[in-house]
C-alpha cells in the first residue's frame, strides 16, 4: 500500500458517505492504521497523528485518529466514519501542520482553536466530540481531506509559511525561491 501524495487527483475529490460497515470498510480502516504505523517506523522524529481514506486512494468518508499523539508506543487509532464539523469556535491560531500526502514539508496553518464534530464509530454509534487545541486542528485537517482540501490550501502567504525537518528533527524555514517556488508538485498552478 502506498500513501497517495500531491498532486494526485485522488486527493482532490469529495469522498462518498459510508452507509453501512462491511468487511470492505473494516479492511480499509485496518489498512489506514497499518500505513500510519509503517510510515512512522521510517520517520524517527515524527508521529502519525491521523490519516484520511483518500490518502490511500479510498473514496470514502473515513478517518483514523490516534488515541494519544504524545506517545509513539501507543498504537491505538480511533476510526471515525462520516465525520462532520458542526461548528468551530475560539480564535484562529497558526501552528505547524504536516501531512503524509505532502511529503517533507510542514506549514504554518491558521485554524480555529475549538471544533465540535459529529461522526459514527465503526460499531455504528453516533459520537459527538468537543475538541480543542491539537485535536481540533487534527480533526479539521482530516475532515478537509474528505472534501479534497489539503493544508497547503489554507496558506495564503506562501513565502514565509513552509518548513522542513533537518537531520536533528528541528523544523527550519525553507527558502521560498530556492525550494517551494520550483516545486510543481506542491503548487502546479503557480508560475
Ligand atoms: Ni493530511
Residue 137, helix vs strand vs coil: helix
- Determine the average pLDDT of the residues in 146-151: 98
Give distance in angstroms: CA of 10 to centre of ligand 1: 13
What whole-number distance in Å separates Cα of residue 63 and Cα of residue 98?
16
For residue 189, name the pLDDT band (cuts at 50, 70, 90).
low
Q: How far is the CA of 97 from the centre of ligand 1 (A)?
A: 8
φ, ψ for residue 12 (rounded to 5)? Answer: -110, 15
Q: Is the pLDDT of residue 104 over 60?
A: yes
Ligand 1 centre distance from Cα of residue 103 (Å): 10
Q: What is the pLDDT of residue 114?
A: 98
Residue 89 has pLDDT above 60, yes or no: yes
Q: What are 19-58's pLDDT values in tens digits?
A: 999 999 999 999 999 999 999 998 888 889 999 999 999 9
Q: Which percentage of the chain shows pLDDT scores above 90?
A: 74
Please indicate whether residue 27 or residue 177 has the higher confidence score (pLDDT).
Answer: 27
Closest CA to 125 of 61, 62, 67, 81: 81
Instruction: Say if residue 109's pLDDT is above 70.
Output: yes
pTM of the predicted protein model: 0.93
DSSP code for 16: B
- Spatial CB neighbours of 182, under 8 Å, sequence gap ≥ 6: none
Distance 177 CA to ligand 1 centre (A): 24
Centre of ligand 1 to C-alpha 17, Å, is: 19
Is 191's pLDDT higher than 50? no
Residue 67's pLDDT band, with cuts at 50, 70 and 90, is very high
Q: What pLDDT shows up at residue 44?
A: 85
DSSP 60: B
pLDDT above 90 for 2? no
pLDDT on residue 142? 98
pLDDT category at 1 given cuts 50, 70, 90 is: low
Measured distance CA(178)–CA(129) in Å, rounded: 42
pLDDT value of position 181: 78
Q: How far apart are CA 35 and CA 43, in angstroms?
A: 12
Q: Give me the catalytic one of 46, 67, 142, 190.
A: 142
Q: Is 190 a catalytic residue?
A: no
pLDDT for 186 beyond 50: yes
Amino acid at each position: 500500500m502506498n500513501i497517495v501524495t500531491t498532486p494526485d487527483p485522488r486527493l482532490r475529490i469529495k469522498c462518498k458517505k459510508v452507509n453501512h460497515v462491511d468487511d470492505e470498510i473494516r479492511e480499509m480502516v485496518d489498512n489506514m492504521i497499518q500505513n500510519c504505523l509503517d510510515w512512522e517506523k521510517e520517520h524517527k522524529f515524527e508521529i502519525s497523528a491521523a490519516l484520511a481514506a483518500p490518502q490511500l486512494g479510498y473514496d470514502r468518508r473515513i478517518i483514523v485518529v490516534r488515541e494519544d499523539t504524545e506517545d509513539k508506543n501507543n498504537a491505538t487509532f480511533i476510526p471515525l466514519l462520516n465525520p462532520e464539523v458542526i461548528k468551530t469556535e475560539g480564535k484562529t491560531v497558526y501552528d505547524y501542520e504536516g501531512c503524509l500526502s505532502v511529503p517533507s514539508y510542514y506549514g504554518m496553518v491558521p485554524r480555529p482553536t475549538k471544533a465540535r464534530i459529529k461522526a459514527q464509530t465503526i460499531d455504528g454509534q453516533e459520537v459527538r466530540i468537543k475538541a480543542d487545541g491539537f485535536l481540533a486542528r487534527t480533526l479539521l485537517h482530516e475532515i478537509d481531506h474528505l472534501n479534497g482540501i489539503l493544508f497547503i490550501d489554507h496558506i495564503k502567504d506562501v513565502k514565509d509559511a513552509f518548513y522542513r525537518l533537518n537531520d536533528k528533527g528541528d523544523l527550519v524555514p525553507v527558502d521560498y525561491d530556492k525550494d517551494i517556488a520550483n516545486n510543481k508538485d506542491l503548487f502546479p498552478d503557480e508560475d
